[in-house]
Chain A
């Protein structure tokens, strides 16, 4: 068993885990964050996507012990929490606006992939949006309304008064 300490959604988290436990299972079973989903567990579908230092990463392909000391954002870190639960981030709100989801299973990964894109590209083309989510499989939507959602979110973020988002500022609910 190994001790693992990392930062999840801005808070330090420690746990004891077997070396073979993936970051995905650690997040779900040790940290109790169930919003990160297992789809294929071999790195294709993207349902388990999280952000590590702002980069979209498949948590099923990384061991928890490899994430020691890393700064991780999961879907629970997007939008409001605690007393502010129910407050949507801009990208989440755009997904609701265009109905960029159906069953909701791939959605956390999609939204984090979108966060990763918009943190480095504030005015993406449709092709760039499709490229950014091409590692996330959705069986419900045919991607059309997901692409619409991300383009809408980019537009809205561009219209904000404050500067373009970067890195941890993406955690709207924690910092706003």
Chain B
């Protein structure tokens, strides 16, 4: 029997957060009431585009319980535009529409009242005089000179137009035996948490302090509120002890927050805005990428893929938001897990009269993976080669790590072939093929989906300087504070909100491992932003690496201090001591117990080494590993760690009905050292469920008038327990050389490959009919219509 490497890490342990949630004792934003709190309801635009001639709110203001009506004109005179990170000064965005509306549902003005119900009643009394304007919904059309710009002051709809060439693309295309071109489109969807976004702001004029509670997951949130409201940074106090009811990237209601922050300060009150579902869907500004890919790929007769040209056109919606940068993250894994020698990448982002995008799980990586995996399937089809064999031929080999990809990032570690082999064994691939053929013989359409992809993790903001050369940000840190109190108990502080990722479990487990203390005995707190060290929140699958790393390093610092105290007390050199279960043992057999060292540190300054500060406290502010440079020649190391996943599934459907039934789903997953197995598995299952939604059901669909059609859960369909099958995870561990325990990220796992895999399975099922589904989601109706058109 081999000795277990870790005592607490990678062992099955209950996440500590779960207890309060199963009892309904989470502290969500809508659960917070403040005395005399006011409520906000925004008025939504009926038009996709219109000029606002005037707003008559007099009847609303005359209603009992109505306190104020805020307009965009008032707000624009009082607050700074919201930041977007691009050099587009004339694409200005305020929380409320200013002079013109740019999408259906955009907030025109906001009623402040004593209850939400009264505020909603008052909305019906507001008269907006508006003149409809031409609008544009399609991204390709938005590029045309003849199309009206969504922001006339900007002069066009183009937000981002960057061409990259990494490696000898022309030479590789010339040398390749074949090339093929195709287009695929990723439909507009999002993570759509069950909790909508909410924020509560409270201004205290005597303290000159704006307190904020929000269901937020956003880097630099407090800073952005301060900038917009022209307040000092230390006049914004964001409370991090709010539980966030799901986010997966999108809970970044900066416009909501600036709006209520302004109202709170103007009226000297507490004020809360909780989106209802309709507001969330159409104007929460939390849609995800909508992206068309045009791909040409060069390859040899033996299946070697040499080079790829990718044009990615993203439909940002009415304001820049985070949309353009979601074209940036995929640069860090632009060749997927494959040995592709060169890439030309043309990233385009345009404004249209649709809802604004926000960061969505994977930050653009899932759409790109879908495009790359579709390319692999198309090459195999072209060559008449097995899809699996083609991938195995092109996968980066274990002996090639660290592997430098053309766009400048090194992949840290991996054993992709081993993961694939494990999955094929676990799934009994020959039996799966036989079952597919049996289903086909029985008259069903049946297909197998295969997808391999990477999860870049340890998120930083390297895509910002890469896409915007005036941005010089390389710092992207996370931090942790640890205190051992005078009774010897450990408390750690973390400096962000959490939306289900289990950060309290992460930190207590890591600290317990480092300090050899039962994690159950370690308490984790979430102070407010003014009592916090700098951090950048859970984005880009970074917290296991960054928060786990900072916690481990803070623990190591405390251990070092404890060792120094013990060495001084025992009169020996530190290297004659060892740390064991919280106690310190000398080579001569003497032992100093934990409680004795706590006593020394807290009460016996006279027995501490000269110059040592009393107490037992430490902190660590950790920079993202490998994040030490700005881009040079359009290349930079973007993420430190690359997790690998390999999906394999069997789908069938009736050719007339076209409703996909997933028979079995396997995923091989390698995210390095796992901190908590149940948390990692849960994220992976959930990511796959979300990916099944993106592949088959979920889309923010607009009609020709620019109205959002799918604005309730009756229309925007999310997978239920019937649509998500039992999923088998096949685990593998290739530690990262860049992290404290070898851990990599897993917060986006499953979602990054599931859409590609499900699409591949559907396409395999209809391959005999010569059908290619080239757009996600692939709805039942699309399947049955396509088959009917081919067979009737």
Contacts and interface: CB of A to CB of B under 8 A. Distances in A.
Interface of A: 18, 20, 28, 33-42, 44-45, 47, 74-76, 78-79, 85-86, 88, 92-93, 95-99, 101-108, 111, 126, 129-131, 133-147
Interface residues of B, number: 56
Contact of B682 (A33, A99, A104): A99
A47 B194 CA distance: 8
B488 interface: no
B195 interface: yes
Given A37-B245, A142-B724, A147-B721, A76 B24 contact: yes
A105 B26 contact: yes
B610 to A, nearest CB: 46
A138 B718 CA distance: 9
B649 to A, nearest CB: 13
B314 to A, nearest CB: 23
B720 A139 contact: no
A34 B32 CA distance: 9
B24 A105 contact: no
Contacts of B276: 41
A111 B685 contact: no
B412 interface: no
B168 interface: no
Nearest to B679: A99
A interface, over-half SS:
loop
Q: Which of A33, A39, A47 has the most CB of B within 10 A?
A: A39
Interface of B: 14-15, 17-26, 28, 30-31, 117, 191-195, 243-248, 276-277, 499-502, 678-679, 681-683, 685-690, 712-714, 718-722, 724, 726-727, 750
User: 10 closest pairs, A vs B, by CB?
Assistant: A35-B24, A104-B21, A105-B245, A102-B500, A103-B500, A75-B24, A142-B689, A142-B685, A44-B713, A99-B678
A88 B193 CA distance: 26
Contacts of A78: 23-24
A79 B23 contact: yes
A99 B14 contact: yes
B interface, over-half SS:
loop
A47 B277 CA distance: 13
Given A88-B19, A140-B686, A103 B246 contact: yes
A145 B718 CA distance: 18
B194 A143 contact: no
B243 A103 contact: yes
B22 A101 contact: yes
Nearest to B676: A99
Q: Which of A39, A102, A129, A130 has the most CB of B within 10 A?
A: A102
B18 A101 contact: yes
Contacts of B19: 86, 88, 96
Nearest to A47: B194
B18 A99 contact: yes
A34 B243 CA distance: 13
Contact of B23 (A38, A40, A75, A135): A75
Contacts of A76: 23-24
Given A134-B721, A134-B722, A104 B689 contact: no
